[in-house]
Copies of this chain bind each other. A is one copy, B any other.
Amino acid sequence: MHSLHFTGETFSNGLRERDFTVGGVPGVLWSPASGAGRAPLVLMGHGGGTHKKAPAMLGRAHLLVTGAGLNVAVIDAPGHGDRPRTAYDERQIDAMQRAMAAGEPVGPIVVRYNGELARRAVPEWRATLDALQRLPEIGAGGPVGYYGINMGTAIGVPLTAADTRISAAVFGQFWPESLVELARRITVPIEFVLQWDDEHIPRQAGLELFDAFASTRKTLHANAGRHKEVPRFEADSAVRFFARTLSSAGPTT
């Protein structure tokens, strides 16, 4: 069992931010600066090529903490952020960049590489969740959500299929090939985001992954626009989703 070690703490804009490590994996925990009592926890998975404190993570954490009073944790994925890249990571990144530059489909490379990252990341996430649940402001048995798009979905779908502590999830923008079988085992409420005009992920492929979830409560949000044009209001929608799925006393909207 890995312990959680806090390595730094700051306060700003209503957020308490604590850096930590669990078994050598670096992470960050955001909580209400007011130090309110026990609250549900949302695990967030960052996108490919970014890291635990990328602007998208900070922005979503701010909405979740100040808008719904939740705790939010992110860890660096293998080969990302403060973690070293292996030779395998470097080869995959080179292959993606060559495909992009040549205008070739990047999907098959991303699916294979992110599948490998998920195999490494899922046990790291589970050990991190074990350690976070030993903190008094989170606690064992409290509601846990998962929020990750793109690579965050490639890691989050296997994590949610494997760990019954996760009781609600926001996913989106990934290819179905490697995830459909796992999605068929997932029954918790799902909000799924895709771009209607995604230049990387074919529309039918995105719809196929949404369709695969066994959840009786699942919602697809498909917005006009290209891969990187997800509207900002989808982050607000995710906050409301977690407020209604993680907390019986939360808002019903």
Contacts and interface: CB of A to CB of B under 8 A. Distances in A.
Interface of A: 196, 207, 210-211, 215-225, 231-233, 236-237, 240, 244, 252-253
A225 B218 CA distance: 9
11 contacts: A196-B218, A216-B225, A218-B223, A219-B221, A219-B222, A220-B222, A232-B252, A233-B244, A236-B240, A236-B253, A237-B237
Contacts of A210: 222
Contact of A233 (B222, B231, B232, B240): B240
Contacts of A244: 233
A244 to B, nearest CB: 7
Copies in the complex: 2
A216 B252 CA distance: 30
A87 B38 CA distance: 64
Contacts of A196: 211, 218, 220
A232 B224 CA distance: 24
A224 B218 contact: yes
B223 A221 contact: no
Nearest to A240: B233
A7 B198 CA distance: 52
Contacts of A223: 218-220
A253 B235 CA distance: 9
B233 A224 contact: no
A176 to B, nearest CB: 16
A211 B244 CA distance: 30
